[in-house]
A and B are shown apart, each in its own frame.
Chain A
Amino acid sequence: MATIELNGLIKRYGQTTVVHGIDLSIQDGEFVVLVGPSGCGKSTTLRMIAGLEEISGGEIRIGGRVVNDFQPKDRNIAMVFQNYAIYPHMTVADNIAFGLYRSKLSKSQKRQRVEQVAEMLGLSQLLERRPSALSGGQRQRVAIGRAMVRDPAAFLFDEPLSNLDAQLRTQMRIEIKRLHHRLGTTSVFVTHDQVEAMTMADRIVVMRDGRILQVGTPLELYEKPIDVFTARFIGSPTMNLLPARLRDGGADLAVGGSVQVPSASATTSDILVGARPQDLVPTAAGSQGLTVSGTVAVVETLGSETLVYIESAGQTVIGSAPGRQIPRIGDHLTLHAPLERLYYFDKVTEKALAAQ
């Protein structure tokens, strides 16, 4: 187990810089998720930690040692790939044992290790099978097994669940989380799926265009996004952002009505007022907070709740109604979010206004 530190990490391909000097410190045993849209540099960062990409600048430390010039095999890390990358010409047992390629254990000790890992992952019955005879989930488990068998300093996961179907993905998510609790190994997990990030991470690192935007626990990111991008990226459905114009002690919304704004500093008078769909519910309008009225355009029944899309002054606003209370399309509906559940962003810089 080990800490991982990135100091001013840079990656360039020719003239193009894809990672712009990022700093990140990952604690021993922590489960950190790098999340962001495709092309944000998250996989490149992970591959640099693994040693599969050379770094163009900065420093990587694993367990306190600078590993910039270390070969992947000398970094004592294990990696799980999106495509599993388990060897088709080897049995499950051989694939898992491959993780011990450099280990000095005796043959019987290796076999014992493989069996232990297979047991832990529910692969004991499949040890003599070839990958072609396994399901997607089983293959991914073999890949995890190969990573685990060595007891590495850190696990690196490169979008390992993206090829699985929704149900299997949820199941594997739980299994990986459970394994992490059991083994306590430092883990870095890359995904573009914010639900995976929220459910698995001790800390989430939001990346965009090769830069880190925000680092925090899932709840911190959900509650206090530092900019519009993070606010929209974290949480599903995405946060409503309503344009408004500041005036004394409040702001006038483009969709009509006004809202109180805590003392804040914006570069211009144009701001965005944010409200998560889960906070925007059909109730009688309160005196304080955000009130939006409009015509119901789309209704999505999820069972536990119902998502309601209303059209108000040309803008679509998403709210949520309790599961059994299903509005009809075309109904006039008023949604309300309490003041303390609102977010405020500068429309020009897209940064959150420092709320007090």
Chain B
Amino acid sequence: MPRIRPGRIVAWTLLFIGGVIMVTPLLFMLSTSLKDASQVYDLRVIPEAPTLDNYIEILSDGRFTRWFVNSMIVAVVVTLSNVFFDSLVGYTLAKFRFRGRYFVFIAILSTLMIPTEMLVLPWYLMASQFGWLDSYWGIMFPGMMTAFGTFLMKQFFEGVPDDFLEAARIDGLNEFTIWWKIAMPLVTPALSALAIFTFLGNWTAFFWPLIVTTSADLYTLPVGLSSFAVEQSIQWEKIMTGASIATLPTLIIFLFLQRYIVRGVMLAGLKG
């Protein structure tokens, strides 16, 4: 048997503890969603009398499906927008030399230092003046492009060798097509990461959607779920059921995109 080094044991132990800390709340969420109201404060992981009643109740409640769809629309549109615009701007900043390039980059980057809480007021005033309050566009517009995404994509595009782009230029592609057909496929790992971050961030966004929406029809899932908590008494089993269902899309997205993150195709076409 190969000797196991002590360092490995420490690493595994730490990973195990980390894993337990991460997974326990998830397990409790699932477990609580399978309990009825009387068992909620019984802390057993496996419920005494598991029931799907909560799921049936929630899924047959039209409001929940509406919120789910709202969240999906917001998260998908914002994710696509970020993947498109962040990478377009990141590519331009990484691969073109023009006057003021550095200034533009610093200006974009400096917005990262402003906390969301500070931006909410100007966003609100802007949305109000443009008549975007209580609309999908109102929820989405602040996140359509992010400084973080632009920065991430710029860093990745800088790693794309110029030879690829020059070869394409000689083959007759225009600059937009070079970005779309050559550069983008070479940064799929970064695009996947950006897509996952953006989707998760928007799927779970609470603060801004809460502020900008007033009608229950436009609530996103987190806002809607929180209304469960305050409507009557706190219904933990309903909240946990909603949260369990809400977790599914993020899991699916992650499972679908993670292979692109792992696969580093970048250098295969160069010397090797």
Interface residues of A (CB under 8 A from B): 50-52, 71-73, 77-79, 81-89, 98-99, 101-102, 130-132, 136, 139, 146, 150, 163
Contacts and interface: CB of A to CB of B under 8 A. Distances in A.
Majority DSSP secondary structure for residues of B touching A: helix
B269 A81 contact: no
B166 interface: yes
Contacts of B161: 83, 85
15 contacts: A72-B166, A78-B170, A79-B167, A83-B163, A83-B270, A85-B164, A86-B167, A87-B182, A88-B186, A88-B270, A89-B186, A89-B265, A99-B171, A101-B172, A130-B268
Contacts of A84: 163, 269-271
A13 to B, nearest CB: 11
Interface in B224-272: 265-272
A130 B272 CA distance: 13
B170 A79 contact: yes
Contacts of B267: 88
A88 B271 contact: no
B265 A73 contact: no
B62 to A, nearest CB: 44
Contacts of A79: 166-167, 170
A85 B186 contact: no
Nearest to A99: B171
A150 B172 CA distance: 11
B169 interface: yes
Interface in B135-194: 161, 163-164, 166-173, 182, 185-186
B269 A86 contact: yes
Contacts of B186: 88-89
A52 B163 CA distance: 10
A72 B170 CA distance: 5
Contacts of A101: 171-173
A132 B272 CA distance: 9
B187 to A, nearest CB: 11
A12 to B, nearest CB: 15
A88 B266 contact: yes
Given A79-B166, A131-B269, A136-B272, 15 more contacts: A52-B169, A73-B170, A79-B170, A81-B167, A82-B163, A83-B270, A84-B163, A84-B270, A85-B167, A87-B269, A88-B267, A89-B186, A98-B168, A101-B171, A101-B173
Contacts of B172: 73, 101-102
Contacts of B166: 50, 52, 72, 79, 81, 85
A180 B197 CA distance: 52
Contacts of A72: 166, 169-170
Contacts, number: 81
A132 B264 CA distance: 11
A73 B167 CA distance: 10
Given A81-B163, A85-B163, A87-B182, A50 B170 contact: yes
B31 to A, nearest CB: 44
B40 to A, nearest CB: 51
A87 B169 CA distance: 13
A352 to B, nearest CB: 39
The 9 residue pairs across chains A and B that have the minimum distance between CB atoms? A88-B269, A132-B268, A102-B172, A85-B163, A88-B268, A73-B172, A89-B185, A85-B167, A163-B271
Contacts of A87: 164, 182, 185, 269
Interface in B115-138: none
Contacts of A98: 168, 171
Nearest to B267: A88
A83 B186 CA distance: 15
Nearest to B173: A101
Given A83-B163, A85-B166, A146 B271 contact: no
A83 B171 contact: no
A131 B164 CA distance: 13
A77 B268 CA distance: 25
A72 B267 CA distance: 25
Contacts of B269: 84-89, 131-132, 139
A169 B244 CA distance: 60
A130 B265 CA distance: 11
Contacts of B168: 98
A141 to B, nearest CB: 14
Nearest to B269: A88
Contacts of B167: 79, 81, 85-86, 146
Nearest to B169: A72
A56 to B, nearest CB: 15
A50 to B, nearest CB: 6
A98 B270 CA distance: 17
